[in-house]
Structure 1
């Protein structure tokens, strides 16, 4: 298959990896859904996992034998579609509109602090593999 090695194949790799990441994110949302919506647990969990994974992967790719296409597919396609800033933003606005100011503030803070912490942990663990 000659197209697999073409320069445009990267779009296919990103799309396929994005398909996987988006479906994994959806599965986590379904598994963490609660009918008495109190807190956007699914999005927070996906973002934490994604921050850790991208932190780790950013260290790992430097020593990896993976092709540039695969590195981009994993970082941009898989991890990029798995995490979501847009859902975080909409859920925060929804909490604010529902009058849940304190919950919205907590969500913003733990998303930022926790996401940064998980990215840092992933980065540090990734350095162990170098």
Structure 2
């Protein structure tokens, strides 16, 4: 288990640095559209989690450290949106469309409300 946790930690560090570099590059080149770095990370992460999940389903012989390090570590550090998207797809494919929609709606609205609440609290504290 410790080897898997270390693979996730190393992958998470790499993914976070990759997201930082992407966001920094976008902000430097298109400061007005700074958010496109996050958007790109989310879309790229979604593409990669789908691709890797599909490949790993066919290649379960690959070490758990590699599979978990890439998906949970690298992509988790790069974007958690990729995991969220894959979970929505799995719910839909499992015939759980109502649950998938509720998860989608509550996650987006809840995230927006939480971010607003956090900003509000920070502004009140300063």
Q: Aligning the two structures, in what range does the TM-score lie when normalised by the shorter sequence?
A: 0.5 to 0.7
Unaligned runs of 5+ in 2: 82-107, 120-126
**TM-score using structure 2 length:** 0.58
Aligned 8 A contact 1:43 1:84 in 2: no
Whether 2:68 is the aligned partner of 1:72: answer yes
Unaligned runs of 5+ in 1: 1-6, 98-130
- Divergent runs of 4+, >6 A: none
**TM-score using structure 1 length:** 0.57
* Aligned residue-pair number: 85
Note the C-alpha offset of 1:78.
0.3
Note the C-alpha offset of 1:9.
1.3
| CA RMSD between the two structures | 2.6
Whether 2:2 is the aligned partner of 1:17: answer no
Whether 2:78 is the aligned partner of 1:82: answer yes
In the aligned structure 1, how far is the partner of 2:26 from the partner of 2:48?
20
Task: Determine which structure has greater relative contact order: mean sequence separation of CA pairs < 8 Å that are 6+ residues apart, divided by chain length.
Answer: 1
Q: Match for residue 53 of structure 2?
A: 58
